[in-house]
Amino acid sequence: MSKIVCIYPQDSTTNFLRPLCDYICTTFSAIEVGYDTTSDNDPLETIYNEIRDAQIVFFLGHGMSSCLYASVIDNVKIFNKDNISLLSGKHLFLLACNSDQFIRNFKLSNAIGFGFLPTSEDDVRNTKQYHKMDIFNTGVLDIGCFNKALVNCIINTLVVDTMKDFHLFKERMLFNTCREIVDCLLKKESKNYRIVADELYYMCKDMVFT
């Protein structure tokens, strides 16, 4: 069986992804590895050693066009131009801001990536506009609704069959995103629920597959 690794650098900004990480580990028998600074071992080297012989790598965290982060709080980069070869030839699912640009920048293949994801107050504060849509007034409750819907969309889409067929993944992700959008508009669980619904639409629209 193919070795599957889920890299999950958990901190206060990624805690909402815990149910998704647990789902991936259960569904795909994935090995979870994070940025653990409590161990005597080098936390980055531990991750690198784990993924060297992995065929499928899930990454749940933060990113930008030039890197993926082991810790965005401490500004520690896990993958960049110096070690991008570690991801070469692997099947990749990168749930991180601007992982679409990261994939294009390094010409990665067999990869799923995402655009900007407004999953924290810092994201909203630093970005303010998202697809020409003002998001600076969205609050903690709005962000929480988006995060919950995002996790639901992926959990309801991500199975062995959709990881083998990106076209199928795209179709099911679109269906599940539409369902979350309708749920958001009907339940109105946050003040700016219309903005949250639009954010979900763009989250799905900005996905890339290579």
Q: Pick 127 or 93 by higher pLDDT.
A: 93
Calpha distance 78→30 (Å, rounded): 19
Supply the pTM of this predicted model: 0.95
What digits encode the pLDDT tens for the residues 93-112?
999 999 999 999 999 999 99
Q: Is the predicted pLDDT of residue 1 greater than 70, yes or no?
A: no
Q: Domain locations in the chain?
A: 1-115, 118-210
Residue 36: per-residue pLDDT: 85
Six-digit token pair at 60?
Answer: 């749940």
Calpha distance 173→93 (Å, rounded): 14
CATH of domain 1-115: 3.40.50.360
- The amino acid at residue 202 is Y
- Residue in the structure block whose two tokens are 């810092």: 122
Q: Pick 73 or 179 by higher pLDDT.
A: 179
Q: Is the predicted pLDDT of residue 127 greater than 90, yes or no?
A: no
What's the average model confidence in pLDDT over 34-61? 93
Neighbour-count burial of 132, counting CB atoms closer than 10 A to its CB (0-12 exposed, 13-18 middle, 19+ buried): exposed
Q: Is the predicted pLDDT of residue 21 greater than 80, yes or no?
A: yes
Residue 152: per-residue pLDDT: 98
Task: Compute the mean pLDDT over every residue in the chain, rounded to the nearest whole number.
Answer: 95
Residue 53: per-residue pLDDT: 95
